């Protein structure tokens, strides 16, 4: 009895989910498909240059929501496309042209449109069957309960059963029970089939997956090189800084030991020098530890760590944080140092007197933007500090986008896929 009850409960849950999802499948996908086609058609008129990036972003969010539901409801993974935008997108009309051309060249855009077409047709039909097979039997039961009397003069067809008497109404109820059993058996399978259809339309091609693997392999190698370089820097800082001071302090203590009875005044002076050296060595060690992993980041999270970082800047800064939880420690560390280097670049090169940092998490993505009112002209290229930030984010499959027209302002946007706990 219990297994049967569990199967019925699972089927009803799947049917309810299919019913709720059917509205997004039919109305949402149909509206977005029509808007997308019209926007692309109006590109030649100039209107589409403004609307296409915005509408394609809505389409992508719509598809990403379906990916999450597929994973949560049917344990089906639909890989997301690696959509890479220009590293330096200009503002104004030229920037809109660049964005639109990039979107129209991106195979992911056409896959999304193909999925919208599939979702509002075959995808909707599958969802409708998932919940209709559970709802339709209710009509047979209602007919058997007495509604058949309304159709005594003119038979009502319940599928292939003409209902015009109590006997035929009972036959309709029996047919409804059989349909309900079919619905219990198939509801979850039909919901899963819907997500399988979505995966067939949205999943990247093998060539794209190969390119993505190559890119991830490259970023992993860069991460290893960066880590090795960081270890060499730490070793060098220890050798030239704190270690040298500690060695000198040890030699001074040896001299003090020899002078403490012969020349107490000189020993006292050297003891003060040793105390100063120990304080300087401790400061250098603290700075070194802060450069490896700031204590405030470990204790209070990314938001407070960036706020503390902004307070030490010589320019006015404003930090907005909307993070309902914390990301994994490696992600927080990468994001913190990316923001730190971006702020340092802005202070050093942009001639800015005001900075804004915005951090929020939405749809599985940590998004950080750093804006300054400086002179602009920042680019991502060989030898640029922004290239190092891009490599750091690439380790986590993150992306970096820079908008920095001549005369400013400059906006550096970073995105890292992650979940918050």
Q: Is the pTM of this model over 0.75?
A: no
Number of C-beta neighbours around residue 69 at 10 A? 20
Q: What is the pLDDT of residues 302-318, one digit of tens each?
A: 888 888 888 888 888 88
Q: Which helix (H) or strand (E) holds 394?
A: helix 385-394
Token pair listed for 204: 């990247």
Q: What is the pLDDT of residues 16-65, one digit of tens each?
A: 999 999 998 988 999 999 999 999 988 888 788 888 888 988 998 899 88
Whether 6 shows a pLDDT value over 90: the answer reads no
| DSSP labels, 279-292 | HHHHHHHHHHHHHH
Of 66, 143, 71, 60, nearest to 103 by C-alpha is 60
Beta bridge partners of 277: none
| Cα 156 to chain centroid, rounded | 53
Contact assessment for residue 341 and residue 45, using Cβ atoms and an 8 Å cutoff: no
Whether 98 shows a pLDDT value over 70: the answer reads yes
Token pair listed for 340: 């730190």
Percent of the chain with pLDDT over 70: 79
Whether 160 shows a pLDDT value over 60: the answer reads yes
Whether 340 shows a pLDDT value over 60: the answer reads yes
Beta bridge partners of 179: none
**Backbone angles phi and psi of 330, in degrees to 5:** -60, -35
Most confident of 48-52, 144-148, 277-281, 296-300: 48-52
HEC string of 190-254? HHHHHHHHHHHHHCCCHHHHHHHHHHHHHHHHHHHHHHHHHHHHHHHHHHHHHHHHHHHHHHHHH
Mean pLDDT to the nearest integer, 123-144: 87
SS3 160: coil
Mean pLDDT to the nearest integer, 58-76: 89
Mean pLDDT to the nearest integer, 91-120: 80
Mean pLDDT to the nearest integer, 394-416: 81
| Cα 317 to chain centroid, rounded | 26
The predicted pLDDT at position 385 comes to 67
SS3 407: coil
| Cα 320 to chain centroid, rounded | 18
């Amino acid at each position: 009895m219990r297994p049967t009850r569990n199967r019925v409960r699972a089927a009803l849950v799947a049917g309810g989910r299919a019913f709720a999802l059917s509205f997004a499948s039919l109305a949402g996908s149909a509206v977005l498909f029509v808007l997308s086609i019209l926007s692309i058609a109006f590109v030649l008129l100039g209107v589409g240059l403004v609307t296409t990036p915005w509408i394609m972003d809505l389409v992508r969010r719509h598809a990403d929501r379906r990916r999450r539901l597929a994973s949560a409801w049917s344990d089906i993974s639909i890989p997301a496309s690696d959509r890479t935008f220009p590293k330096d997108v200009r503002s104004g009309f030229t920037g809109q042209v660049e964005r639109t051309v990039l979107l129209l060249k991106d195979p992911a855009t056409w896959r999304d449109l193909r999925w919208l077409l599939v979702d509002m047709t075959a995808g909707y039909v599958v969802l409708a069957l998932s919940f209709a097979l559970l709802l339709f039997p209710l009509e047979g039961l209602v007919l058997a309960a007495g509604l058949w009397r309304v159709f005594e003069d003119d038979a009502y067809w319940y599928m292939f059963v003409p209902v015009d008497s109590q006997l035929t109404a009972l036959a309709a109820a029996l047919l409804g029970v059989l349909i309900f059993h079919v619905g219990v058996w198939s509801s979850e399978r039909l919901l899963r089939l819907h997500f399988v259809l979505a995966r067939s339309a949205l999943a990247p091609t093998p060539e794209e997956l190969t390119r993505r693997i190559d890119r991830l392999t490259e970023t992993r190698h860069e991460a290893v090189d960066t880590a090795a370089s960081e270890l060499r820097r730490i070793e060098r800082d220890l050798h030239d800084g704190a270690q040298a001071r500690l060695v000198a302090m040890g030699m001074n203590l040896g001299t003090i030991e020899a002078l403490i009875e012969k020349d107490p005044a000189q020993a006292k002076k050297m003891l003060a020098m040793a105390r100063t050296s120990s304080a300087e060595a401790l400061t250098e060690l603290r700075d070194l530890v802060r450069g490896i992993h700031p204590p405030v980041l470990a204790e209070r999270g990314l938001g407070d760590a960036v706020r503390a970082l902004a307070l030490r800047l010589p320019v006015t800064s404003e930090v907005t944080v909307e993070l309902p939880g914390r990301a994994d420690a490696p992600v927080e560390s990468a994001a913190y140092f990316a923001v730190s280097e971006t702020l340092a670049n802005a202070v050093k090169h942009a001639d800015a007197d005001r900075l804004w940092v915005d951090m929020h998490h939405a749809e599985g993505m940590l998004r950080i933007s750093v804006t300054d009112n400086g002179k602009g002209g920042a680019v991502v290229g060989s030898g640029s500090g922004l290239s190092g930030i891009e490599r750091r984010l690439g380790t986590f499959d993150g992306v970096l986008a820079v908008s920095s027209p001549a005369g400013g302002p400059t906006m550096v946007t970073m995105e890292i896929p992650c979940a918050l706990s």
